[in-house]
Amino acid sequence: MNKPLRKKNLSKTSRRGEQKKAVSPLEILLRASVQAIAEGDTESARGHLSNAIIINPNDSYLHGQMAALLIEEEEYDKALLSLMQALKLEPGNPKWFTSIGTLLLQAGRPSDAVGFFEAVYQLDPENTLNVVRMLHTQMDECNWVAHQDRKNKLRIMDNAPALGDRFPTLLYVDDAGFQKKRAVAKAKNDASLIRAENTFNRTPAKDRKIRIGYFSSDFYHHATMFLMVRHFELHDCDNFEIFIYDYSVKPADETRQRVMDAVDCYRSVTDMKDADIAALAREDGIDIAIDMKGFTNGGRLPLFAFRAAPVQVSYLGYPSTTGMRTMDYFLADPITVPKDLRRHFSEKILYMPNCYQVNDNTREHPVLRPTRAEVGLPENAVVFSSFNNPNKVTPVEFDIWMDLLKEVDESVLWFLAPSEQVKTNIRKEAETRGVPANRIVFADRCTTDEHLARLPLADIFLDTFICNAHTTASEVLWSGVPVVTMPGQQFAARVAASIVTAAGCPELAVETTEDYRNLALRLATTPEERQALREKLMVNIRTTPLYDTEQYVRDFEALMAKAIQRYDDGLKPDHLGLTEGKV
């Protein structure tokens, strides 16, 4: 469900010379709800809506907006009651079916949700929000009917770019221009009621410590922290002060404690309004505000529309532009954003010299590892693996994978499948392509330690095209397993090429699907080459930039210093690298 609450029938200024029309109590409550949502104050918004429903209990719109708020707060049972009331009042309105599907999707019931979206697609095929949610649900279950009628679905989404979630389209189409259009429309819509604060009570940073604030809801046992926790520990405390603004709803754990121990100031701001978080950061004297979420779940991009700091940077968590006029920079590298792709970002690019992705070089390899037999793999056959989230897999790469299984006798595909529905659909797709279902070995979700322990059992990791492996790619390489990848056009499709290059193995990033297939086949059928590559990776992990966390942090800090110096010099943001001259 989109951000709740849009202005509805609010009073308009009358023609010149006439008095304004009287504003009804219902309109006042709706206006207050709109403003509360813009400020991130969902509690007040719920109060205003509750009072509005008392005034007009037969308004389905009000019940729908209440459901949207309840869904954001993960109160799914209460939200369902509100939506059922809206549906009772308007039984022929397909948007309530979309809303119910959305609730079920967010409640972790995609198999129940998909039917609602598919029904609406038949009744109201131009409904952009419904199309995005339908694709999201179908891709989560490897239901590749999502890729049928593809051009028409892209047209529908392009016609109303502000509607629907951003992240699912990153998995659906490799088109950076398409992603930017949707991001800009969404950001403009979200910021329509927000006025940025552009004055800051601060002194130039040249002769003092630079204050960096990191904003996220992932300061706990989360994939982003697996990459970043060492980063916080290595910040230069003589030249930087590090602040954390945490809006997580997760309980504290060892990872969060490690972050808290490493930084100068940790602030839990979960219950604060977006405007108040931004104001707190300004009060703290933050020079550079770093958003680590973007449009992903738990992100709070609107707070950066208020401006939390003179310089604001999008970093790591969301692999595309935010589309925000107030987001100054996006951190990347020359592979993920070459010069010709800069136009697809509303931000200027901060170029790390090697890979944009940080890693923790203190992570230890698991001591206890399972055997192949213990995880259901054949002992002596070639094991291709796909440990990307299954929603990244499309028929294009799956066709290649099935051809590889046919070419390499007794080989198997080790496929991450978090649900029975994914397993059912993948078995069906394999058999449709003439591959027996028993050539697919499914890997369930497990703990991080168990996952890292099983990775070395694979022979070759086969990457996805539209959205690559990110954290998974660096973990697989760290485990000594080669990653075969093919860079695409958008940032999300170029990440793995950056990672394998930073690991000293650029030959693993190929240019065409034919090259991708041929490289995977050669590695599968030439065990001595495969073994040599594994040995090379284990050496490179200790000697190449991918896991050189110390140098990464020094480079990162140098870029941050250049960005704030540029601001203090009265210059607008521009593309910046560590070398002198134009980048």
Q: How many CB atoms lie within 10 A of CB 2?
A: 18
* Average confidence (pLDDT) over 11-40: 69
- Domain presence at residue 183: no
The residue out of 122, 137, 159 marking a domain boundary is 159
- Can you give the CATH number for the domain in which 216 is found? 3.40.50.11380
- Domain presence at residue 138: yes
- Domain presence at residue 346: yes
Q: Assign 436 to helix, strand or coil.
A: coil
Q: Are residues 146 and 41 in the same domain?
A: yes
* Average confidence (pLDDT) over 524-532: 98
* Average confidence (pLDDT) over 133-146: 96
Residue 547 amino acid letter:
Y
Contact 495, 469 (CB under 8 A): yes
How sure is the predictor about 20, in pLDDT bands with cuts at 50, 70 and 90? low
How sure is the predictor about 68, in pLDDT bands with cuts at 50, 70 and 90? confident
Q: Are residues 465 and 428 in the same domain?
A: yes
Contact 387, 416 (CB under 8 A): yes
* Average confidence (pLDDT) over 51-61: 91
What are the pLDDT digits (tens) for 398-422?
A: 999 999 999 999 999 999 999 999 9
Q: Are residues 500 and 431 in the same domain?
A: yes
* Average confidence (pLDDT) over 269-280: 94
Contact 465, 497 (CB under 8 A): no
Instruction: Enter the tokens of residue 480.
Output: 């000594």
Q: What is the pLDDT of residue 21?
A: 65
- Can you give the CATH number for the domain in which 78 is found? 1.25.40.10
Q: Are residues 125 and 244 in the same domain?
A: no
Question: H-helix or E-strand containing 81?
Answer: helix 76-89
Counting the structural domains of the chain, the total is 3
* Average confidence (pLDDT) over 71-79: 88
- Can you give the CATH number for the domain in which 522 is found? 3.40.50.2000
Q: Tell me the average pLDDT of the chain.
A: 93
Q: Are residues 520 and 557 in the same domain?
A: no
H-only helix segments in 339-419: 395-407
Q: Would the pTM of this model clear 0.95, i.e. be above it?
A: no
Lowest mean pLDDT segment, chosen from 5-9, 51-55, 71-75, 536-540: 5-9
Asked if the model's pLDDT at residue 126 lies above 50, the reply is: yes
- Domain presence at residue 524: yes
* Average confidence (pLDDT) over 511-536: 98
Q: Are residues 518 and 489 in the same domain?
A: yes
- The domain of 218 spans 210-361+551-568
- Domain presence at residue 14: no
Contact 557, 549 (CB under 8 A): no
Closest CA to 136 of 105, 96, 160, 178: 105
Q: What is the pLDDT of residue 22?
A: 76
Closest CA to 337 of 348, 328, 327: 348
Order of strands across the sheet with 460-462? 440-443, 412-416, 383-386, 460-462, 483-484
What are the pLDDT digits (tens) for 323-363?
A: 999 999 999 999 999 999 999 999 999 999 999 999 999 99
Closest CA to 219 of 261, 191, 176: 261
- Domain presence at residue 583: no
Q: Taking the CA atoms of 346, 348, 350 and 355 in sequence, report the sign of the dihedral they define.
A: positive
Asked if the model's pLDDT at residue 10 lies above 60, the reply is: no
Q: What is the pLDDT of residue 435?
A: 98
Q: Are residues 531 and 558 in the same domain?
A: no
Q: Taking the CA atoms of 383, 389, 392 and 394 in sequence, report the sign of the dihedral they define.
A: positive
* Average confidence (pLDDT) over 27-36: 85
- Domain presence at residue 189: no
**Cα–Cα distance, 538 to 479 (Å, whole number):** 8
The residue out of 159, 183, 202 marking a domain boundary is 159
Higher-pLDDT residue of 19, 267: 267
* Average confidence (pLDDT) over 481-497: 98
Q: Are residues 351 and 242 in the same domain?
A: yes
- Domain presence at residue 1: no
Q: Are residues 530 and 561 in the same domain?
A: no
Q: Are residues 383 and 461 in the same domain?
A: yes
Q: Are residues 356 and 260 in the same domain?
A: yes
Q: Are residues 297 and 390 in the same domain?
A: no
Task: Kindly state the percentage of the chain with pLDDT values over 90.
Answer: 82
